[in-house]
Amino acid sequence: MKYLVTGAAGFVGSNLCTRLLSDAANTVVGVDAFRDYYDPALKERNVRGLLAQPNFSLVRGDICSLNLDELLQGVDVVFHEAGQPGVRSSWGNSFSTYTHDNIEATQLLLEAVTRMDRALSRFVYASSSSVYGDAERYPTDESDRPGPKSPYGVTKLAAEHLCSLYAQAYSVPVVSLRYFTVYGPGQRPDMAFTKFLTAATEGTEIQIYGDGSQVREFTFISDIVEANIRSSYMDVPAGCVINLSGGSAVSVKEVIDEIRSMVERDLRVSFGAPVVGDVYRTGGSTERARKYLEWEPQVDIASGLRLQYGWVREARGI
């Protein structure tokens, strides 16, 4: 099978490529724009091992300006993991980056898929729990009304709608996966766990936005990768949207307690104002994921945090 993975140098994309390449019969073409939203050197580190593999090739560039017809030649499955992340940083003048990378890129990719001279077997879109905003109920069902609370969430939802539209109009075999706060080794440096664990390792201050009572259903990276793989070959109706929520709904304060007991020392923690755009709570029903993907999260928060802590220490040579 030949796979196209966009965002191949990112946290989810690079882990997905590694998993796909563990089967020697697979060929993977990765695409990444190496944007400087965070240190691009970290992305170079993510692809170092991949580049050493004969079945992997990397195309550096912006989806909106690459020759997508060429990129899609012979491809069986597209995993569209690329996007401009960052809930809290999507306010202000950077919004055009979000519309360009999240909406326009997705539309151009879907459009290119409709021009393919062979049928794609799956187009997996990496959506986000941020499309829900403060949800109507918990656990939140995929049919509950979305109401993003950040410009980022608006762009993820718009791209998801484009996916469903292309599924209806052109039978593109899309599945949109709503990721709930992904964590684990390789997590982006702007996300909570990497920041907290780095501060805990270096003895610097952990800054909590608000009083720490906000709740997230954190989802471990290997569970996300597994769901992507299953989405590529299991029987899911085109245009279907599926929650991937990790089964560990915990507050940020509880995460800090867990880290404190794990590192066995006191932490320096400060509490600031809540940040606009942050939802108070996420928590998704996994019923649909169970039905279509026979998927359930396997890694609990304590084990997952421990694995991420090991990675943070290793990166610092500890």
Identify which of residues 31 and 208 has a Cβ nearer to ligand UGA in the complex: 208
| Nearest residue (CB) to ligand UGA, 14 versus 129 | 129
132 is catalytic: no
HEC string of 163-182 equals HHHHHHHHCCCEEEEEECCE
Question: Which one of residues 177, 224, 252, 259 is an interface residue with ligand UGA (CB under 6 A)?
Answer: 252
151 with 98: CB under 8 angstroms? yes
Number of Cβ within 10 Å of residue 29's Cβ equals 22
CB of 73 to ligand UGA, least distance (A): 31
240 binds ligand UGA (CB under 6 A): no
Residue among 67 and 207 whose Cβ is closer to ligand UGA: 207
Of 46, 106, 140, 214, the one binding ligand UGA by CB under 6 A: 214
Residue with tokens 């909590």: 208
Q: Which of residues 75-134 bind ligand UGA (CB under 6 A)?
A: 85, 87, 128-130
Toward ligand UGA, which CB reaches closer, 56 or 179? 179
CA–CA separation, 4 and 74 (whole Å): 10
Among the residues of the chain, which ranges form H helices?
11-21, 40-51, 68-71, 95-98, 105-114, 151-170, 192-202, 221-233, 252-263, 287-293, 301-315
Residues belonging to the chain: 318
Judged by CB, which is closer to ligand UGA: 34, or 209? 209
Q: Is 180 a residue that touches ligand UGA (CB under 6 A)? A: yes
Q: Which stretch binds ligand UGA (CB under 6 A): 32-40, 47-55, 65-73, 208-216?
A: 208-216
Question: E strand or H helix at 80, and its extent?
Answer: strand 77-80
**Cβ neighbours around 268 below 10 Å, total:** 11
Among 179, 220, 292, 295, interactor with ligand UGA by CB under 6 A: 179
Q: In the complex, what is the shortest distance from the CB of residue 106 to ligand UGA, in angstroms, rounded to a whole number?
A: 15
The piece of 62-70, 189-197, 260-268, 297-305 that touches ligand UGA (CB under 6 A) is 189-197
216-237-103-111 Cα dihedral, nearest 10 degrees: 160
Regarding 209 and contact with ligand UGA (CB under 6 A), the answer is yes
Number of amino acids touching ligand UGA (CB under 6 A): 19
Rounded to the nearest 10 degrees, how much is the dihedral formed by the CA atoms of 292, 102, 186, 147? Answer: -60
Q: H or E element: which one contains 215?
A: strand 215-220
Please say whether the beta carbons of 125 and 159 come within 8 A: yes
CB distance 65 to 82 below 8 Å: no
Of the candidate residues 35, 100, 161, 195, the single one contacting ligand UGA (CB under 6 A):
195
Q: Is 191 in the site for ligand UGA (CB under 6 A)?
A: yes
Q: Does 207 bind ligand UGA (CB under 6 A)?
A: yes
208 lines the binding site for ligand UGA (CB under 6 A): yes
Residues 193 and 187 sit within 8 Å (Cβ to Cβ): yes
Task: Single out the catalytic residue among 152, 179, 292, 309.
Answer: 152
- If the CB atoms of residues 122 and 178 are measured against ligand UGA, the closer one turns out to be 178
Q: Does 50 bind ligand UGA (CB under 6 A)?
A: no
Catalytic residue numbers, as ranges: 152
Binding site for ligand UGA (CB under 6 A): 85, 87, 128-130, 179-181, 191-192, 195, 207-209, 214, 216, 252, 275, 278
